[in-house]
Amino acid sequence: MDLDMFSMIAAASGMLAVPILAFIACFFLWPSALINFYHWYWRRALGMQVKHAEHGKYRFSYSFRGKQGNQPSILFLHGFSGDKDMWLSVVKFLPKHLHLVCVDMPGHGGTSRSAGEDYTIEGQVKRIHQFVECIRLNRKPFHLVGTSMGGSVAGVYAALYPSDLCSVTLICPAGLKCPNDSQLVKLLQDSKTSQSAKKIPLIPSTSEEMDEMMKLCSYIRFKIPQQILQGLVDVRIPHNDFYREVFLQITGEKSRYSLQENLHKFSVPVQVIWGKHDQVIDVSGATVLSSALPGCRVDLLEKCGHSVVMERPRKTAKLILEFLTSQRCNEGCSDKKTS
């Protein structure tokens, strides 16, 4: 082998070694950086752009794809301690021509976090309405999707601002008086009489607690390396005091049953999606919604827990699209009857 060929091979090997070593270093030393890169990569791959909207001194961070057109735009609201990127797994299975918007909820992700902010459900609803008006999303009625805490916000939004919406999808929504207690409720009740009274299972501070939280939220048992679990915890720990404040507000007297208290105001079509094995908010909440809203569509998913969006993203996207299609068909039939 001549010297030039050897030099080329050595150079090529060096070029390959750099990204491989960088990946290994991130995996073991900075797993949180690897997680952030993963989200950046998937946003880029799926064509999601990140932008900011200002309302006075308050800033909303959101990602979007597409433009407003003939079909309704879809706004996604994530759950407690999540962010806009949690919807990427669902976005992957939605048509590229749809206008999709995923916003960081108040205080979460890149959205402003200010002292003394109202993080009750109605307080968050007001902020989301400000965001909608900032980006003029309500120029045409849009479809609103919310999960868990975001589901409660979406439901109360539908009750307070029905003219903004054409329909709403509630995924395992909080804010209901469920006939049966969930595993999370039982854990919280037990903690009141133990030394771990300050411990909230949804706010982990160690990799072991992170693993327990994921088992609580998911029916599927994801095999996650210890380093990634630690990375997930590292990302969350700086925000844990904030998460505790939000949790106490949304489970306090003003918010605990916000969705239930506003059901009588509903006038838009409603879809309910729930995992049958939800341990965070019991699936019996679906019967509360179907009883109060006789015309709503209810889809219960087998072998699925609270993290419907992560566990069954393809099914979630399919059900939302089916619901939107059925609503357009119903509107078409109504138009024919009145003509």
Residue 63 has which token pair?
């990602």
First-to-last alpha carbon distance for the chain, in angstroms, is: 84
- Asked if 194 is an active-site residue, the reply is no
Query: Distance between CA 63 and CA 70 in Å, rounded?
Result: 20
Query: Distance between CA 244 and CA 132 in Å, rounded?
Result: 27
Can you list the positions of beta strands (E) in 114-266? Answer: 142-147, 165-171
**Which residue in 84, 267, 64 sits closest to 165, CA to CA?**
267
Query: Distance between CA 135 and CA 173 in Å, rounded?
Result: 25
Query: Distance between CA 308 and CA 314 in Å, rounded?
Result: 10
Only one residue has tokens 């909080």, namely 174
CA 125 to chain centre: 15
- Asked if 306 is an active-site residue, the reply is yes
Give the CA distances from residue 63 to residues 30, 53, 68, 74, 287, in Å, rounded to whole numbers and listed in that order.
25, 11, 14, 12, 33
- Asked if 264 is an active-site residue, the reply is no
Q: Which of 81, 104, 306, 307 is catalytic?
A: 306
Q: Which of 278, 282, 299, 307 is catalytic?
A: 278
Going by the DSSP 8-state scheme, the letter that residue 104 receives in this structure is P
Q: Which of 112, 148, 207, 218 is catalytic?
A: 148
Between helix 226-236 and helix 31-45 the angle, nearest 10°, is 90
**Which residue in 171, 153, 104, 168 sits closest to 305, CA to CA?**
171
Q: Check: CB of residue 254 under 8 Å from CB of residue 122.
A: yes
Please give the positions annotated as active site. Answer: 148, 278, 306
